[in-house]
Amino acid sequence: VRPDRMRKNLELTDGYICSQKILLGLIAKGVSREEAYRLVQGAAFRGREEEKDFRSLVESDSDIGQHLSQEEIAECFRLDGYLKNVGHIYERVLGKHR
């Protein structure tokens, strides 16, 4: 397992992999699922059109900022959560085949 390589691959997504965390963060703040989806989708489409990373668009989006603080947005973009159980998963899988 090479967590450094996995992190690099996650970074290649330009932050779009974190869109679900933003969506769920908005819903947790009381935004309807439909509105949260519209906000996240709008930022994603703008990012693709303007060739910008998703995080910078979310951070500068005033509609999203009405519901999520900059700290909450930053937390959504932490990649550690995607890697935290890698060792355990490999141990379970490889342990069964030893």
Range of the structural domain that residue 12 is part of: 3-96
Chunked into runs of 10 residues, the chain (98 residues) has average pLDDT values of: 72 81 98 98 94 94 98 91 69 72
In this prediction the pTM is 0.75
Residues 6+ apart with CB under 8 A from 55: 14, 15, 18, 73, 77
Q: Is 49 in contact with 39 (CB distance < 8 Å)?
A: no
What is the number of structural domains in the chain?
A: 1
CATH number at residue 61: 1.10.40.30
pLDDT, position 8: 79
pLDDT, position 43: 96
